[in-house]
Amino acid sequence: MANIASAKKRIRSSNRRSVTNKNRISAIRTYIKKVEEAIVDDKKEDARKALQVSESQMMVGAGKGKVSKKRMSRKISRLNKRIKNIKS
């Protein structure tokens, strides 16, 4: 356990940051699931709209360093490809 005041503060601030980071990552996963559900249900327009919203959230998370930028770009590209392949 930390005895120095600055170390105690670092523990408090890192706990706050970890909660924020977990919430942001969870939100990104939720947005991705909404897009994937629309793709599975063959709803091209719903998937496209959901991707627009999720894309911005994914890139915000990547910009803040919560997830890799390359990973999010790859995910967006693959989702776009799946949406284009929906027959409707």
For residue 50, the domain's CATH number is 1.20.58.110
User: Tens of pLDDT along 28-84?
Assistant: 999 999 999 999 999 999 999 999 999 999 999 999 999 999 999 999 999 999 999
What range does the domain containing 30 cover? 5-84
Total number of domains in the chain: 1
Q: Which two tokens stand for residue 1?
A: 């356990």
- Tell me how far apart the alpha carbons of residues 16 and 21 are, in angstroms, rounded to a whole number: 9
Residues 22 and 35: beta-carbon distance below 8 Å: no
- pTM summary value: 0.83
| Residue 87: pLDDT band with limits 50, 70, 90 | confident
- Tell me how far apart the alpha carbons of residues 56 and 76 are, in angstroms, rounded to a whole number: 10
| Residue 1: pLDDT band with limits 50, 70, 90 | confident
Instruction: For Cα atoms 14, 20, 25, give the angle at the middle one, nearest 5 degrees.
Output: 120
